[in-house]
Structure 1
Amino acid sequence: MPAISIKGDEMPASPIRKLTPYAEKAKREGKHVYHLNIGQPDIETPKGMLEAIRNIDFKVWAYTPSEGIESYRNKLAGYYNNLGYAISADDIIVTNGGSEALSFAMQACINPGEEVIIPEPFYANYNSFTRAAGAVIVPILSSIDHGFALPPIADFEAAITAKTRAIVLCNPNNPTGYLYSRKELEALRELCLKYDLFLIIDEAYREFCYDGREFVSPMQLEGLEQHTVVIDTVSKRYSACGARLGCLITKNKALWSTVLKFAQARLSAPAVAQIAAEAAIDTPQSYFDAVKNEYTARRDVLVAGLNAIDGVYSPNPGGAFYVVARLPVDDADRFCQWMLEHFSYENQTVMMAPASGFYNTSGSGKNEVRLAYVLNVNDLKRALICLERGLAEYPGRL
């Protein structure tokens, strides 16, 4: 039998999805599984987005331009310029989800064998995209005891070598929910300018910032015009994960032209999703206000509930819709699987994402889990009861 490629063999499994077979088995056994493992919101997609799909009347379902439909990119530019990004449609390339935008960024910015610095824990697929590009992640460890704040800039600078090409950041952060401050981003700006590095910034959760905290993008900071690469997606903003539509934004024309070659090689992003996403830009602010209020309530219930469980600790996140919690267990991977295979309370259980898969440093996150507060408050309360009961029964509780 032909051998699998080394790159394929080394590709890590998703900590978010790898326990799915156990969850499906639990469901077949009649258990109700509360899915806190994945960022799939139960928030309704804006009606205007769905209506645009219903009203499609084209006669030929044709390719779209590789960079994206012009009217959509023009409308997107208007959305970003309302945030102070000062871009044009020609700075945007529409992609098959934020995932493809990240993949294109890694391929276009980093050579095989070169390095990218990422504070950890980080979105697990950064590992996959970096490996696929033949590049190497250099992790900078952040701590749950400090709320996953950006590690000291001195730690970043100490990690920079002749092979360093980029720093990657998710703001607000997945998996921790940490919202990086203006001061932290300005410190990264100085580092990128000093060492001539790309700053690849994943802004998928831009709309979800809580407690009146300010969202800041490198696009709003002077001096980074040639260094910043923004990754975005409609998945979270409009609760439209299945649309699989995102974009890459850069004012660096050489980089934009390079990314376009990758976009041309995969032909085009989906036409129907772009039609829906163009309509979605007209979504009224009231929709986002209601969604933010809902997520704030969910966050407050989940964080308070977690910290009320003996031995559990979770920082209070400033954005996104995730928390990372430290549990009194010997091994979070084993515990998460045990919850699906062997535990139920009133025929219910909880699916979580073991946090070890969001770290690159061996041994880190061993007793941590990521939970997504994408379910309604009542379901979150029931899930918390299951978690508390499960921890009480788990054989490997510390």
Structure 2
Amino acid sequence: MTHIDIPTDSEFGIDNLPYGIFGTPSTAARGGIRYGDMVIDLFVALGDPDFASPRLNAFMARGRSRWVEVREAVTDMLASGTTPAEAIVSVSDVTMHLPFEVADYVDFYASEHHASNIGRLFRPDSAPLLPNWRHLPVAYHGRAGTVVVSGTDITRPRGQRKAPDEPSPTFGPSRRLDIEAEMGFVVGVPADGPISPDQFSEHVFGAVIVNDWSARDIQAWEYVPLGPNLGKSFATSISPWVVPLLALEQARTSTPVQDPEPLEYLRESRSWALDIDLTVAWNGHVVSRPPYSSMYWSPAQMLAHETSNGATSRTGDLFASGTISGPEKNQRGAFIELTWGGSEPVNLGSETRTFLEDGDEVVIAASAPGPNGSRIGFGDVRGHVRGSDLHLPN
């Protein structure tokens, strides 16, 4: 048995214990928990066959009582120094995999600051927010099959695009490739119909960082009248560690004042808004610090709306917040906002950028307050842009 010493200021301390799927040269991908700079192999430590799987879905489906039971068992094991030595692996020796099989993917549009900025950019002669925006959490349905784990290269997408000064559309690589810094939430316990905001913690297992890669030129040409499609569906990156909702109690806060008052099915007895701080680094330069606490709609309200029509939910369903942007320029979570549609380039050391170029790397990190002044880390989600290598049939 082994006692593991970690720094007292580690964002992966005993109050966090996020779940992920790891592999080593000698072991197949399976479930683990991160503690400091170590991964605890949960199959070896607990003997639970759910953690022998290359995805967390079976464990997530067990429900809140099992989530609590495992968390308490691991906490006791770490605190008492009784972790089996053979269950401890250094983070530097593992390869991280997609933590869960994504059953479905929905992306919301929950930041009033982001939605207002995009409205001003796309519809300069109209009101920034459309009439429905303050009444319901707006969303679009994404493509689950193109959700990838952090570190996966992102191939520049091709598609139709038409600049305002072009007489007709052309097909080719996106010229306005962008990111969206978001938080995502994963369903553990499915339901056959509506999930109320106050049932959120009974169904949602945890949270990840999301980068919703966006081809703005493709998006701008295609999105009227049915919304995003190919400008979004080519890739969405998520962080490899799923921070359990059980670790985020200290981070709970309130949404901004919602006016008008939401309809009854969207009302929370206690808000699941979360105080999460994000940073966006572009080629190693921090260019934005989006605050999740500024989001108008909470994740519990998003899930309530998503299921309000009777739609079923499944283990592994992922829903994301949409771009997180605050009121200040340095809090904007998408480059289309940060550069104001490309008219205000960003300085990256000796270079400037408006949108992503081949070879660029984006890293989004996040953390939240934990007990007794600690921080709960989500790690990061990173992606490197490579040139388009898509070949269409003749």
Normalised-by-shorter TM-score class: under 0.3
Q: Which has the higher strand share?
A: 2
Q: Which has the higher helix share?
A: 1
TM-score by length of 2: 0.25
Larger relative contact order (Cα-Cα within 8 Å, sequence gap ≥ 6): 1
TM-score by length of 1: 0.24
